[in-house]
Amino acid sequence: MSETEWIEGYAVPPGCCDELLDDRGEARPHVASLIATLQRLGAEALLQAGQRRDGIFMRQGITFKVAGEHGERGDRAWPLDLVPRVLRAAEWTSISDGLEQRIRALNAFVDDVYHAHEIVRAGIVPWSLIVSRPGFARPVHGVRAPGGVYCHVSGCDLVRDGGGRWRVLEDNVRTPSGISYVIENRLAMTRLMPELFAGHRIRAVDHYPSLLLDALRAVAPASDGHPTIVLWTPGPLNSAYFEHAFLARRMGVELVQASDLVVRDAVCYMRTTSGLQRVHTIYRRLDDDFIDPLEFRPDSLLGVPGLVRAYRAGTVAIANAIGTGVADDKAIYHYVPAMIRFYLGEEPILENVPTYLLGDERVRREVLARLAELVVKPTGESGGKGVFIGPQASAAEREAQARLIEAQPDRFIAQELVHLSTAPTEAGGALEPRHVDLRPFAVFGDEIRIVPGGLTRVALRAGSMIVNSSQGGGSKDTWVLDDEGSAGKLASGALPARRPPRLPDVRYGDWHGQQQQQQQQQQSASNSKKAPATATSASNKAPATATKRRQQQQSASNSSKQQSGGRISPLLGWLVGLALHDVEQLVGDLADGVDLALDKLEHLFLLGALPGGWKAQEVERTLDRCQRVSKLVRERGTLALVVDGVGHGSNR
C-alpha cells in the first residue's frame, strides 16, 4: 500500500518537487515517522487543533493586518498550517553557508556604493542603475555605519525548484519581517500538536531575540555603561506591529515611536518620565523615506527631525543602516552572483533565478515575445505587489502588462517561472499540495548568526504561487533536524553552551577566534622586535602603544602591592579566582532559571491554561517582574549588584 493513501486525492502538480513525498509518491526517509503520526491522528485532530489555534491567536493578539476587497484593513488570526516542513541537517548546512556568503557580499556592496565605488569602476554594476534605485539614499553617501555593518538583519527568500535545487528568489535587507511568527509557530505547535515532535531532535529557534540584542549592542557607539537600545515602530496601525511589540518585550528594550525620540546637538535621546535618556542603537522598522523629514520626505509624520545628522556624527547606530534598500532592489538582485565573485573571490553557493533587465532593448523584445512564459515584477515593490505571472494571465492581462513594460522598462524585471515546491497543507479536512517558500533570518553584529529554519510561507489558495502574508498567504513551522552530527557549528544557529554575563563594552566571540587574535598579536610583537627602532609605520606604532599600556598596568600593580605590604598571597589569588568563577556560574544559572520560568508562564498564558484563581492582570505583572529580574541578572553580572537591584528597584 502506498504511503500516500492517508492523503486521499493528494497529487503533486506537474514539474514540482514535494517537501514530504518523493517522485514515486513515497514518504521521504526523514519524514516517514511524521507521516505515520499524521495518519494515526487523522483529519479530525487537525481540524480541532486548528479551531483551538485560531481562538488562542485572536485572544493573544497574534494577528496580521490584511486589506479587504474594498480597501478596509482588519486583523486576522495568524494563519499557521499544522503540518510542519522538515529540512535535513546536511541540507540546512548548505543553505546557511550560502546565506552567510550572500549577506557578506551584500554588506560589502552597500559599503562600496556609498564610498569607494570599486564595483562600478570595475564595470560590473552600472552607476546609473544604482543611483536610479528608489532605495539609494543620497543623504548618507560617504557615511560609514558603525563597525562597517549595514545589513544587521536579513531575510532572504528561498525556493526549491522542480529539480530540488535551492535558489534565492529575493533579498530583504531593509526591514524584513516574520521572525516573531517563527517563534510563535514553534510554541503553538508544541502545545497544539505535541505528538508530531515524538522521536525528532529539532533545532531551537527561540534564541533569536538574544542574538538580535547582542548584534545591536555590538554596533552601538562607545558608552560609559550599558548602551540603550530601542525598537522604533511606525505604530499600532502597521501590519507587523505584533512583531514589533513581541521583539521589544523579548529583548527587554523600549518600544518607541517618533514622538518618543528627539535629537539635541546631533545626539539622539528618548523622552522618559525622568528626563532625556541617550539612545545608542535604534532597531528601526520603517522605511528610509519616513525616517527624517529634514532629509527625506518632508511630509513624514513618522520621522525624527535631525536623526540623519546624528547618524552622520556617529553618535547613534541604526539597524538596518540607512540606504540598505539599494541592495535588495530587484534590479540589483541580478548582480549578486557577480558581487560574491568580486568581493569574496568565491563562487555562489546558492543560485539566482534567471533574471532579465528590461532596460536593454534586445532583452526587452525577447521578454515581450515570451511574456506568457515568464514572471514580471516591479523592481521597487515588496510583499508580492504588482507581480505578473504569465502562465496564469489572460490575453488581456498580458497586453496590459506589455504596455506597462514599454512605457517604463526600467521599473520591471522578468524572471523564468520557478515551479515552487509543494507541501501537504490542511484544507477543509483534507491534506492538499500548496506551494511554499522559505525565509531564513540572519543577524550580523560581531559575526553572522542564522536561526535554523525560518519562516515557511504557504500559498493557501489552490494553484497560487503568491505566498506573501499580505496577499493572503499562510505559514508553517519549519523544522531543521539535528540528528546528523552537525549541531556543533555555530554559524548554523546553535548557541554555545555557556557565555559569561555580558559586561559593558565587552564583546564575546568563540574561543577559536580569540586564539587566532592571540596568535596574530604574538606574531606582531615578534615582528616588532625584529624591525629597526627608527621605523615609523603604523604596524610598529601599535606594539609601542601596547608596551606603554603594559608599563602603566605594571606600575599600577606595583603601587597596589606596596599598599598591601608588597606581597599578594598566591593562595588568596587562587581563592579569589575560584570565588569569581562560582559567582559567574551562579549568576548564569539564576538567569537561566528565570528565563525558563518565564517561558513556562508564557506558554500557560498563551493557551489560557492558567491555574484556578489566577487573573490575566496578575500574570502580566509577574511576567514583567520576571523580565526585569532576568535583565538585571544578565546585565549586572555580579550577585551583589543583582541583589541590590532586586531589593531596592522594585519600582523601576
Q: What is the pLDDT of residues 491-508, one digit of tens each?
A: 333 444 334 444 444 444
DSSP designation for 151: -
Q: Which string of DSSP letters, residue by residue, matches 595-646? A: HHHHHHHHHHHHHT-PPTT--HHHHHHHHHHHHHHHHHHHHH-SHHHHHHHH
Cell numbers at 484, concatenated: 546528523
With beta carbons less than 8 A apart as the criterion, state whether 462 and 121 touch. no
Of all helices (H) and strands (E), which one includes residue 64? strand 63-67
Largest CA distance in the chain: 95
Q: What's the confidence (pLDDT) of residue 406?
A: 94
Whole-number mean pLDDT of the chain?
80
Instruction: Report DSSP state, residue 27.
Output: B
Q: Which of 33-47, 93-107, 169-183, 471-485 shows the lowest mean pLDDT across its residues?
A: 471-485
Mean per-residue pLDDT for 304-333?
A: 96
pLDDT at residue 349 is higher than 60: yes
φ/ψ (deg, to 5) at 388: -110, 120
Estimate to the nearest angstrom the gap between the alpha carbon of 33 and the chain centroid: 31
Contact 243, 178 (CB under 8 A): yes
Is the CB of residue 442 less than 8 Å from the CB of residue 504? Answer: no
Residue 126, pLDDT above cutoff 90: yes
Q: For residue 117, what are the contacts with CB-CB under 8 A and spacing of at least 6? A: 127
- For the stretch 585-595, pLDDT in tens is 555 555 555 65
> What is residue 606's predicted lDDT score, i.e. its pLDDT?
55
Q: Of 25-34, 117-126, 459-468, 477-486, which one has max mean pLDDT?
A: 117-126
Q: For the segment 374-418, what is each residue's pLDDT rounded down to a tens digit?
A: 999 998 777 667 889 999 899 999 999 999 999 999 999 999 999
Q: Which residue has the higher pLDDT, 426 or 93?
A: 93
Reported for 619-625, long-range contacts at CB under 8 A and 24+ positions apart, including other chains, are 623/598, 625/650
Query: Residue 130: what pLDDT?
Result: 96
Which residues 6+ apart lie within 8 Å of 116 measured at CB? none
How much is the pLDDT for 283? 98
List strands edge to edge, sheet with 261-264: 261-264, 267-272, 275-278
**Distance between CA atoms of residues 114 and 137, nearest Å:** 9
In which band, very low, low, confident or very high, does the pLDDT at 43 lie, cut at 50, 70 and 90?
confident
Confidence (pLDDT) at 578: 52
Classify burial at 193, counting beta carbons within 10 Å of its beta carbon; exposed 0-12, middle 13-18, buried 19 or more: buried
* CA-based nearest residue to 477, from 82, 5, 95: 82
Question: Residues with Cβ < 8 Å from 158, sequence gap 6 or more?
Answer: 95, 166, 167, 168, 169, 350, 437, 438, 439, 440
Identify the H or E element spanning 584: helix 570-607
pTM (2 decimals)? 0.74
Whether pLDDT at 145 is above 90: yes
Supply 180's cell numbers.
Answer: 516573531
Coil, strand or helix at 270: strand
| pLDDT value, residue 570 | 52
- In one-letter notation, the amino acid at residue 53 is R
pLDDT at 468 over 90: no
Residue 229: which of 247, 242, 207 has the closest Cα? 247
Indicate if the pLDDT at residue 453 is higher than 80.
Answer: yes
- Strands (E) in 174-256, as ranges, are 229-232, 254-256
Mean pLDDT (whole number) for 128-150? 94
Average pLDDT over residues 216-243: 90
Query: In percent, how much of the chain has pLDDT > 90?
Result: 54
Mean pLDDT over 313-325 rounds to 96
**pLDDT value of residue 108:** 97
- Tell me which of 174-178, 262-266, 400-404 is least confident: 174-178
Of the ranges 68-72, 259-263, 364-368, 549-553, which one carries the lowest mean pLDDT score? 549-553
Beta bridge partners of 638: none
Phi, psi of 19 (to 5 degrees): -75, -25
Q: What is the DSSP string of 302-364?
A: SS-TTHHHHHHHTS-EEESPTTGGGTS-HHHHTTHHHHIIIII----SSEEPPEEETTSHHHH
* Confidence class for position 334, pLDDT limits 50, 70, 90: very high
pLDDT for residue 518 is more than 70: no
| The pLDDT of residue 262 is above 80 | yes
- Distance (Å, whole) CA 219 – CA 434: 41
Q: Identify whether the C-beta of residue 456 lies closer than 8 Å to the C-beta of residue 422.
A: no
pLDDT at 520 over 90: no
Q: How far apart are CA 80 and CA 129, in angstroms?
A: 39
Q: Give 460: exposed, middle or buried? Use CB within 10 Å, 0-12, 13-18, 19+.
A: buried
